[in-house]
Structure 1
Amino acid sequence: MSANKSSKLNRLLSSQPSGVVLCSSWLVEHGYSLDLQQRYKKSQWFESIGAGALIRYGDQVDYLGGVYAMQTQLELSLHPGGKTALGLQGKAHYLELSPKHAQLFGAQGEHVPLWFKKQDWSVNVKCTLSNFLPPEVGLTELSYKQFTVKVSNPARAIMECLYLAPKSQSLLEVYELMEGLNNLRPASVQQLLEVCSSIKVKRLFLYMADKANHDWVQYLDLNRVNLGSGKRAIVSNGVYITKYQITVPKELESME
């Protein structure tokens, strides 16, 4: 390998952390042609993990290394959300230490790369695409291994849980998670409530925050939050909560 090509390879190796995926299209944009990528693979500097995706040869890469690539190289809004985001930030202590599932959220219309969907990440990764919250609001940087990824902050994560409830997320479990969030920043919660387009999510969020007696609730200005009109039956045969005009499970309302 010539000195020029060697320094180019060294630049790549030193600029990108280990433990992450490198997208072939991104490499091409940065001067690493498909032909050059092939030579790197033949020389065992890199190996393929699917069409359009490489990792360092022998590197241990998990789904967050794939998320890093989607966020920083493909500029997608896909991010760990819901229970997964809470677990990554230590806000879900009773959840299993080695989760078998990971929940990602992204904007409606985004395309999850085939290499990410087909890769065996040793966890079942589910991607939910929705615009009920703007993709840029309520995210925080999480340091992981040698890189950082954007994940939902706790307030957004709870709203994402509520978006999935009650069909694919237990409301009782969400309430247990909400109980632990006694130090949310009112300004962050206020912003999320104002931009959230799901009436169901906003009413359930406020109902649970009220029920948990969190101090930060008193600092919210609900006059700036559109809570819609009319009743919402979240479940059938539940308990009607007059203040928020929602019907919730009897087991949830009876929780201390």
Structure 2
Amino acid sequence: MQNTSPGSLVIQAWLTKHGVSPQLAQKYVKNGWLQKLRSGVYARPGKKPQWHNAVGCLVEQLEFPAHLAGLTSLTYQGKSHYLQLQEKHIWLEVPPKTALPLWFKAFPKYCDELSLVQPVDDEYSKNTLATESENPDWLFVTSNKLLEEAPSDLIEIEVNNTQLKASSPELAAFELLNAVPTTISFEHAAEVFQGLTNLSPRKVQSLLNRSKTIKTNRLFLFLANYYRHPWASRVDESQINLGSGKRQVVTGGMLDHSYQITVPELFLAETSDFKDLPNG
């Protein structure tokens, strides 16, 4: 318990491992030292639990292979200005067909109804509680289209004093584009991608070499060239599976003849200088 802070979540299995039996946990609840959220799930009182507390509990205590992905990962690395204080969704990569705990899936809906067990006295915490937004919903990304994983795909970042695993900028960009247009619009994803001027060409190469989704590969290269990112010229397209034939990215869009994908007409207006480049 000494290793947890106000707002942290703890599960009974973790408490038992640290010498707190279910009976003792109930005593802690009665004494106001813990707040019960769901069966076997508790929070340290004094601060309302937030989404990052739930993710930290899922990964650290339950050892689930989950990480912040796509737009959320880019945002908390300072790569996107779109998600600020009013996040609507937290992008979370989990393996396909993973059975997530019910308490975790329902966390955004019931957490904001919680009341604090003990009062908060210091002015900083009062101000923090007053300005905290509702917990955003989860957006589970389970369609990682990579043939294999690489150690450089994941990094650790800090979110409100909580260490969390997250996609590297390169993988997050891939996840972002892989979600077009079902989860995020082409225009939104493109504007985020515009700011990715410092991606590692070595990591981009490794990522796209391992990718089995032709449409995402083509879109990644299209936007890299469209925005003339300096790292784009160091990516060898001949090593990347670009397939053959046309692919529809945007319904009703115009066909880009370089990468044979449909894009909004606006994005073809300034691409004449690289339209004749080979497909690789």
**Same fold? TM cut 0.5:** yes
Amino acid in structure 1 at the alignment position of 2:206 = Q
Aligned to 1:213: 228
Aligned to 1:117: 105
Amino acid in structure 1 at the alignment position of 2:75 = G
Aligned to 1:3: none
- Structure 1 residues 60, 116: closer, same or farther in 2, change over 3 A? same
Query: In the alignment, which of 231, 255, 260 is matched to residue 240 of structure 1?
Result: 255
* Deviation digits for residues 136-189 of structure 1 (CA, Å, limit 9, x no counterpart): 652221112332111222222221121221122111111111111111111221
Matches within 5 A, 1:24-35: 24-35=12-23
Aligned to 1:62: 50
Q: Superposition RMSD on alpha carbons, in Å? A: 2.3
Secondary structure in 2 aligned to 1:49?
Answer: strand
2:197 and 2:143 map into 1 onto residues whose CA distance is 27
Structure 2 length-normalised TM: 0.78
Structure 1 length-normalised TM: 0.85
Amino acid in structure 1 at the alignment position of 2:243 = G
Query: In the alignment, which of 153, 157, 162 is matched to residue 172 of structure 2?
Result: 157
227-236 or 92-101: which moved more? 92-101
234-243 or 208-217: which moved more? 234-243
- Unaligned runs of 5+ residues in structure 1 are 1-11
1:249 and 1:215 map into 2 onto residues whose CA distance is 23
2:90 equivalent to 1:102: yes
22-31 or 111-120: which moved more? 22-31
Secondary structure in 1 aligned to 2:38?
Answer: coil
Secondary structure in 2 aligned to 1:166?
Answer: coil
168-177 or 119-128: which moved more? 119-128
1:31 and 1:200 map into 2 onto residues whose CA distance is 52
Query: In the alignment, which of 154, 158, 175 is matched to residue 190 of structure 2?
Result: 175
Amino acid in structure 2 at the alignment position of 1:195 = R
Amino acid in structure 2 at the alignment position of 1:72 = E
- Unaligned runs of 5+ residues in structure 2 are 112-133, 272-280
2:65 equivalent to 1:77: yes
Query: In the alignment, which of 40, 57, 65 is matched to residue 52 of structure 1?
Result: 40
